[in-house]
């Protein structure tokens, strides 16, 4: 048979399959751009560096619920605006709480296990177990607060060693944040220069820069086998992270003493003795570890990178934060959680950073396991559903001058926090961020302690750095920038 004949047969088979699949779709699907055969709408945003913005254009044309097709068959539903997102994730949360299982790269990596991509009863139990452990991390020799304060101090010493010279500090912030997770999970921090640590961070970087609900390899699996494909890079990064996690678990098992619980891994090993084996087992433990490193490092570090950028570009805001610290804490001791009540402006500045930077602009994909009626449409089962959090965080109908950095919007006239139901950087509902409290604690302690010691300045002779958001994977990153970290 010639190549041409083979190709012809492949095309005919694909057309038959396509017609079959299409004929079985529900009739009342949400509107959206017309897909082209085989690739669907993939080419509309292929290579985009601002995916969340490309999606916003569909909202203008089709409304708050939009259907795309990725690859030959995968339905992707985009949901925009607070009303629709709230309806799906809170009012209809029991239908919308699932993670997709049909995305090729995701499935190869997660096998629908762990917290971030697991489903069902085991996921719920695992999530509860992990939340409890993170909430009251009274194990090991140090409290979580002390760990973060210590790391902030090591980070500050490192920044001081730059002698006020212009530097790109993104990588060092990432290492400091990753060390908090390392401390929780493995009981001790890693040296900033440790080669294992650097590889771990490089892997997280790779994953966050390219993984997304609309990765072509998720819907056209053969792409993952091309040399240098993004899908292959993600799979390699996860394999490497998993090998490291398994090695550390083995070391813990060998030195485990139930009377001396050192960290999360020990807690898990102890739970193996009495908890449901389906939930607490080595496979789940290593998946949770990888999930926590992934979900907890790039997100929080990126927020710090944005905070410093906004502070540098808005010296009046930086000045107010520092005055608040000087008046309420002074310089004789570290900023601690008990200062939070009095450092309201700093808290508002952190919230404004999370809002404006829209750290995870498209959330993490969800799905429904059965055809579901929503806002007058049918959401077909197993569609990938993307909740456009940025459309809420920068909605001009909610926030006055939404593209301006203005922490005061989170404060009452008396300088107290204003509760804002539209502030949803951690998403809402049953799958909302499990590390929200840890992240807010880290941001407060890292920023408070850094601002106590330093002022962040634009390097002499440089233009004000851009605040454009770059979104190629899960997070929104700023363009790389240089900063002078000047001791106060």
> Which parts are annotated binding residues?
433
Kindly tell me which of 423 and 454 has the beta carbon lying closer to ligand HEM: 423
Spatial separation of the C-alpha atoms in residues 443 and 300, rounded to whole Å? 7
293: nearest Cα among 241, 347, 231: 241
The nearest distance, CB 440 to ligand HEM, in angstroms, is 8
Task: Return the closest-CA partner of residue 117 out of 316, 287, 358.
Answer: 287
Binding residues for heme: 433
DSSP structure string for 359-415: SSTT-S-BB-SS-EEETTEEEPTT-EEEEETHHHHT-TTTSSSTTS--GGGGB-TTS
Q: Residue 475, SS3?
A: coil
d(CA 320, CA 69): 48
Is the separation of the CB atoms in 203 and 237 below 8 Å? yes
Q: How far is the CB of 393 from ligand HEM (least distance, A)?
A: 10
In the complex, least distance from residue 93 CB atom to ligand HEM, rounded to whole angstroms: 10
Point out which residues pair with 456 in neighbouring strands: 485
Q: Using CB positions, name the residue nearest to ligand HEM.
A: 435
CB of 274 to ligand HEM, least distance (A): 24
Report the 10 Å Cβ neighbour count for 180: 25
Angle between helices 195-210 and 170-186 (to 10 degrees): 110
Tell me phi and psi for residue 387, to 5 degrees.
Answer: -95, 115
* Contact residues for 314 (Cβ-Cβ < 8 A; gap 6+): 405
Our CB check for ligand HEM shows the closer of 223 and 360 to be 360
Q: Nearer Cβ to ligand HEM, position 224 or 264?
A: 264
SS3 assignment, position 245: helix
Inter-helix orientation angle 230-255/170-186, to 10°: 40
What minimum distance in Å lies between the beta carbon of 300 and ligand HEM? 4
Which residue number, 229 or 427, has a Cβ lying nearer to ligand HEM?
427
Q: Which long-range contacts (CB under 8 A, 24 or more apart) does 131-134 make?
A: 131/434, 133/264, 133/267, 134/184, 134/434, 134/435, 134/437, 134/438
Q: Which is nearer to ligand HEM, 242 or 432 (CB)?
A: 432
Closer CB to ligand HEM, 64 or 299, in the complex = 299
Residue nearer to ligand HEM on the CB measure, 299 or 477: 299
Q: Smallest distance, Å, CB 423 to ligand HEM?
A: 11
416 or 437, CB closer to ligand HEM?
Answer: 437
Shortest gap between Cβ of 295 and ligand HEM (angstroms)?
Answer: 3
Tokens of 318: 């930086």
Q: Which is nearer to ligand HEM, 229 or 384 (CB)?
A: 384
Contacts of 181 (CB under 8 A, 6+ apart): 292, 293, 296, 297
CB-side neighbour CA atoms (13 Å) of 82: 14
Do the bridges between strand 469-470 and strand 454-457 make them parallel or antiparallel, or are there none, so unpaired? unpaired
Q: Which residues bind ligand HEM (CB under 6 A)?
A: 115-116, 127, 181, 291-292, 295-296, 299-300, 303, 359-360, 363-364, 366, 425-427, 431-435, 438-439
CB of 475 to ligand HEM, least distance (A): 8
CB of 144 to ligand HEM, least distance (A): 11
Q: Please check whether residue 423 is in contact with residue 393, taking contact to mean a CB–CB distance below 8 angstroms.
A: yes
Strands (E) located in 12-91: 65-70, 74-80
Separation CA 204–CA 341 (nearest Å): 34
Q: Which is nearer to ligand HEM, 300 or 383 (CB)?
A: 300
In the complex, minimum distance from the CB of residue 117 to ligand HEM, in angstroms, rounded to a whole number: 7
Only one residue has tokens 């709408």, namely 41
């Amino acid at each position: 048979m010639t190549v041409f004949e083979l190709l012809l047969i492949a095309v005919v088979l694909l057309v038959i399959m396509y017609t079959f699949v299409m004929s079985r779709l529900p009739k009342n699907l949400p509107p959206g751009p017309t897909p082209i055969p085989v690739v669907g709408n993939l080419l509309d945003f292929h290579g985009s560096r601002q995916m969340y913005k490309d999606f916003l254009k569909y909202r203008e044309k089709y409304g708050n619920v939009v259907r795309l097709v990725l690859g030959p068959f995968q339905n992707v539903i985009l949901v925009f605006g607070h009303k629709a997102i709230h309806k799906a994730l809170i009012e209809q949360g029991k239908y919308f709480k699932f993670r997709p299982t049909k995305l090729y790269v995701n499935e190869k990596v997660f096998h629908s296990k762990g917290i971030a991509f697991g489903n069902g009863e085991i996921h719920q139990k695992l999530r509860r177990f992990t939340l409890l452990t993170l909430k009251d991390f009274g194990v090991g020799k140090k409290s979580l607060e002390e760990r973060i304060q210590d790391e902030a101090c090591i980070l500050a010493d490192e920044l001081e060693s730059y002698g006020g010279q212009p530097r790109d500090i993104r990588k060092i912030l990432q290492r400091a944040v990753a060390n908090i997770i390392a401390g929780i999970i493995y009981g001790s921090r890693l040296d900033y220069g440790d080669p294992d640590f650097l590889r771990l961070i490089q892997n997280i970087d790779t994953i966050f820069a390219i993984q997304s609900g609309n990765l072509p390899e998720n819907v056209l699996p053969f792409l993952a086998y091309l040399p240098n494909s993004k899908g292959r890079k993600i799979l390699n990064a996860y394999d490497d992270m998993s090998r490291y996690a398994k090695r550390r678990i083995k070391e813990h098992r060998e030195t485990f003493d139930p009377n001396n619980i050192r960290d999360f891994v020990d807690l898990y090993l102890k739970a193996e003795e009495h908890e449901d084996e389906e939930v607490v087992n080595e496979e789940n433990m290593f998946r949770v570890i990888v999930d926590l490193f992934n979900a907890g490092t790039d997100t929080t570090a990126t927020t710090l990178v944005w905070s410093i950028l906004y502070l540098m570009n808005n010296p009046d805001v930086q000045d107010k934060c520092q005055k608040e610290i000087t008046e309420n804490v002074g310089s004789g001791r570290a900023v601690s959680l008990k200062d939070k009540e009095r450092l309201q402006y700093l808290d508002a500045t952190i919230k404004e950073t999370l809002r404006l930077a829209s750290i995870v602009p498209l959330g993490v994909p969800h799905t429904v396991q059965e055809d579901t009626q929503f806002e007058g449409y049918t959401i077909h089962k197993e569609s990938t559903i993307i909740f456009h959090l940025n459309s809420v965080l920068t909605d001009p109908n909610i926030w006055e001058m939404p593209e301006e950095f203005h922490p005061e919007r989170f404060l009452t006239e008396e300088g107290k926090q204003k509760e804002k139901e539209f502030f949803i950087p951690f998403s809402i509902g049953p799958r909302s961020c499990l590390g929200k409290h840890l992240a807010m604690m880290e941001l407060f302690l890292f920023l408070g302690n850094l601002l106590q010691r330093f002022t962040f300045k634009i390097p002499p002779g440089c233009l004000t750095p851009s605040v454009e958001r770059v979104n190629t994977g899960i997070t929104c990153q700023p363009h790389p920038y240089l900063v002078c970290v000047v001791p106060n």
